[in-house]
Structure 1
Amino acid sequence: MDRFFKLKENGTSVRVEMMAGLTTFMTMAYILAVNPLILGAAGMDWMSIFLATAIAAGVMTVAMGLFVNFPVALAPGMGLNAYFAAVVVSSNGAISWQMALTAVFMSGIIFIILTVTKVRQLLLVAVPDTLKHAITVGIGLFITVVGLKNSGLMTIVLEPFTDVPAHSGRPALGAETVLTMGSFHDPNVQLAIIGILLIGILLVLRIKGAILFGILGTTIIGYFMGLVDLASLGKATWLPDFSKLEFAQFDFAGVFNVGIISIIATFTFVELFDTFGTLVGTANRAGFMKNRQEGNKRVGKAMMVDAVGVSAGALVGTSTVTAFVESSAGVAEGGRTGLTSVTTGACFLLALFLAPIAALIPGSAASAALIVVGVLMMQSVKEIEFQDLVQGIPAFLTIVFMPFTYNIANGISMGIIAYVILATVGGGNKYKVHWLMWILFVLVLARYLFIGGE
Structure 2
Amino acid sequence: MERFFKLKEFGTNVRTEIMAGITTFMTMAYILAVNPLVLGNGTGLDMYGIFLATALGAGIFTLAMGLFVNFPVALAPGMGLNAYFATTVVASEASGHAISASMALAAVFISGIIFIILTVTKVRQMLIVAIPDSIKVAITVGIGLFITIIGLKGSGLLTISLSPFADYAAGSFNNLNSNETIFHLGDITEPSVWLTVLGLLVISALMVLRVRGAILIGILITTLVGAIPGVDVVTFDSLKSADWVPNFSKLNFWDFDFADLLTTGLLSAIATFTFVELFDTFGTMVGTANRAGFFKDKEKGRKLVGKAMLVDAVAVSGGAVLGTSTMTAYVESAAGIAEGGRTGLTSSTTGVLFLLSLFLAPIALLVPSPATSAALIIVGVLMMQSVKEIDFEDLVLGIPAFLTIAMMPFTYNIANGISFGIISYVVLAVIANLAGKKKYQVHWLMWVLFVLVIARYVFIGAEG
The TM-score range, normalised by the shorter chain, is 0.7 to 0.9
What is the aligned counterpart of 2:131 among 127, 130, 134? 127
1:60 aligns with 2:61: yes
Tell me what 1:275 maps to.
285
Tell me what 1:443 maps to.
452
Query: Which residue identity is paired with 1:27?
Result: T
Tell me what 1:26 maps to.
22
Deviations 1:415-451 (A, max 9, x none): 1221111111125443111122122222222333444
The answer to whether the Cα contact below 8 Å between 1:104 and 1:267 also exists between their aligned partners in 2 is no
Partner Cα separation in structure 2 for residue 223 and residue 11 of structure 1: 37
Tell me what 1:221 maps to.
225
Counterpart secondary structure, 2:159: strand
The answer to whether the Cα contact below 8 Å between 1:22 and 1:347 also exists between their aligned partners in 2 is no
Q: CA 1:59–1:259 in 2, change beyond 3 Å: closer, same or farther?
A: closer
Structure 2 unaligned blocks of 5 or more: 41-45, 93-98
The answer to whether the Cα contact below 8 Å between 2:159 and 2:186 also exists between their aligned partners in 1 is yes
Partner Cα separation in structure 1 for residue 306 and residue 153 of structure 2: 38
Q: CA 1:269–1:250 in 2, change beyond 3 Å: closer, same or farther?
A: farther
Partner Cα separation in structure 1 for residue 169 and residue 255 of structure 2: 33
Tell me what 1:181 maps to.
185
Structure 1 unaligned blocks of 5 or more: none
Q: CA 1:251–1:35 in 2, change beyond 3 Å: closer, same or farther?
A: farther
1:235 aligns with 2:241: yes
Structure 1 segment 28-427 matched on structure 2, within 5 A: 28-39=24-35, 42-44=38-40, 51-64=52-65, 66=67, 68=68, 70-76=69-75, 81-84=78-81, 87=84, 94=91, 105-158=109-162, 174-175=176-177, 176-224=180-228, 225-248=231-254, 253=261, 256=266, 259=269, 261-276=271-286, 278=288, 284=294, 300-316=306-322, 317=324, 319-322=326-329, 324-325=333-334, 328=337, 345-427=351-433
The answer to whether the Cα contact below 8 Å between 1:25 and 1:348 also exists between their aligned partners in 2 is no
Deviations 1:29-61 (A, max 9, x none): 214523235535624487656544443343234
Deviations 1:231-258 (A, max 9, x none): 2212212223434544456677467176
Tell me what 2:441 maps to.
432
Partner Cα separation in structure 1 for residue 200 and residue 257 of structure 2: 38
The answer to whether the Cα contact below 8 Å between 1:137 and 1:378 also exists between their aligned partners in 2 is yes
Q: CA 1:246–1:146 in 2, change beyond 3 Å: closer, same or farther?
A: farther
Q: CA 1:170–1:361 in 2, change beyond 3 Å: closer, same or farther?
A: farther
The answer to whether the Cα contact below 8 Å between 2:357 and 2:364 also exists between their aligned partners in 1 is no
Counterpart secondary structure, 1:232: helix
Partner Cα separation in structure 1 for residue 161 and residue 335 of structure 2: 37
Q: CA 1:415–1:303 in 2, change beyond 3 Å: closer, same or farther?
A: closer
Cα offset for 1:356?
1.0
Q: CA 1:379–1:36 in 2, change beyond 3 Å: closer, same or farther?
A: farther
TM-score (norm 1): 0.78
Partner Cα separation in structure 2 for residue 115 and residue 29 of structure 1: 27
CA RMSD, aligned part only? 4.2
Cα offset for 1:393?
0.7
Which range moves more in the overlay, 396-405 or 151-160?
A: 151-160
Q: CA 1:140–1:118 in 2, change beyond 3 Å: closer, same or farther?
A: same
Q: CA 1:158–1:73 in 2, change beyond 3 Å: closer, same or farther?
A: closer
Deviations 1:97-123 (A, max 9, x none): 958866654443332212211212222
Partner Cα separation in structure 2 for residue 279 and residue 223 of structure 1: 36
Partner Cα separation in structure 2 for residue 100 and residue 194 of structure 1: 42
Partner Cα separation in structure 2 for residue 49 and residue 403 of structure 1: 28
TM-score (norm 2): 0.76
Cα offset for 1:305?
2.6
The answer to whether the Cα contact below 8 Å between 1:37 and 1:363 also exists between their aligned partners in 2 is no
Partner Cα separation in structure 2 for residue 238 and residue 407 of structure 1: 36
Cα offset for 1:180?
1.6
Counterpart secondary structure, 1:321: strand
The answer to whether the Cα contact below 8 Å between 1:310 and 1:322 also exists between their aligned partners in 2 is no
Partner Cα separation in structure 2 for residue 11 and residue 187 of structure 1: 41
The answer to whether the Cα contact below 8 Å between 1:33 and 1:359 also exists between their aligned partners in 2 is yes
